[in-house]
Amino acid sequence: MSAADQKPLGSGFAAKSEPDELMAGIDLSGKTAIVTGGYSGIGVETVRALTKAGARVIVPCRNQEKAKVTLANVDAEIALPFMDLTDLPSVRDFSAKMNAQLERVDLLINNAGVMACPLARVGPGWESQFGTNHMGHFAMTTGLLPLLEAGEDTRVVALTSIAHKRSGMLWDDIQFDETPYDKWTAYGQAKTANSLFALGLNRRLASSGGRAFTVHPGGIFTPLQRHLSTEEQIELGWLGPDGKVNEAARDIFKTPTQGCTTSLWAATSPMLADKGGLYCEDCDVAAIATEASLPYLDVAPWAVDDEAAERLWHLSEALLAEV
């Protein structure tokens, strides 16, 4: 990808397009898809749309009973193998089982994540937002590489957030071992890592014809906000003084169905057949952010930087090798 490619294509869809609009004419029969976080928030709607288009969908899940209940109204049989992104042995076990059971994976949507949570450590001591949102998905995806390389027109979608604008990579102290912890800076770094990961993965899938994309789904009220108090959401401007969604947020925020559509577009659009490594939002490719950009749109240059993507990839491999 070059910076010149990071610009809107004129997809014809809108920020609040619905899944049926995005998937009209898309046939995923015979395709195998994996969706992390597919039993919560926009993940459920992503799974629903993919199965409706004919895909076989696998949802790795930490809470299988909850997943069964949440996905009970999806009109398809969903495989629900156990996996916990914070537990590397379970991630490696999931990848090994998929390699043993499947011939290929055509679509992988790394949708799961945590946001703005208190300081916690996962794995060998990684800061939990970086460890869950990036390292868990990095370990799983690299474990699935043989299946992704065997897929037909493979697409990988890594979900990020506009919060990536809050922070690039903190190369000198990624794990907040010495830096005072700030939950939003940590979240911003993790979301920048998601974008850089897709850029690095796209380069590695190129020889097999696969593509990887980053998706900012937009603002959506889902369980992702579970670590935020009502007071914090009022301060952020999402809620009014009465604790209800205010008019400004209502204009910008999407429903869970609308929130999954950019993932679906990146995973299936024919417009992206010869492209990859791009950051997408509102069912189109995003523009590079400038001083004139609205705070909730466009991508910061540090999140689509090839050199940073390679640095993060090699660092992530080294971190995994230590565990």
pLDDT digits (tens, 9 = 90+) for 243-258: 666 666 666 789 999 9
Taking the C-alpha atoms of residue 118 and residue 89, their distance in angstroms, rounded to an integer, is 24
pLDDT value at position 278? 98
Number of H helices, E strands in the chain: 13, 9
Give 201: exposed, middle or buried? Use CB within 10 Å, 0-12, 13-18, 19+. buried
What is the SS3 assignment for 296?
coil
Average confidence (pLDDT) over 138-150: 98
Superfamily of 3-219+256-321 according to CATH: NAD(P)-binding Rossmann-like Domain (3.40.50.720)
Q: What percent of the chain has pLDDT over 70?
A: 89
Q: Which positions are catalytic?
A: 187
Strand-pair category, 279-281 with 284-285: antiparallel
pLDDT value at position 83? 98
pLDDT value at position 219? 81
pLDDT value at position 251? 65
pTM for this entry: 0.92
Q: Do residues 265 and 286 lie in contact, with contact meaning Cβ atoms separated by under 8 Å?
A: no
Q: Give the Å distances, CA to CA, from 5 to 82, 210, 235, 287, 317.
A: 38, 17, 36, 9, 28
Question: Would you list the domain boundaries of the chain?
Answer: 3-219+256-321
Regarding predicted confidence, which is higher, 3 or 71? Answer: 71
Average confidence (pLDDT) over 74-93: 96
Regarding predicted confidence, which is higher, 273 or 230? Answer: 273
Out of 74-88, 155-169, 228-242, pick the least confident.
228-242
Q: Do residues 37 and 29 lie in contact, with contact meaning Cβ atoms separated by under 8 Å?
A: no
Q: What percent of the chain has pLDDT over 90?
A: 84
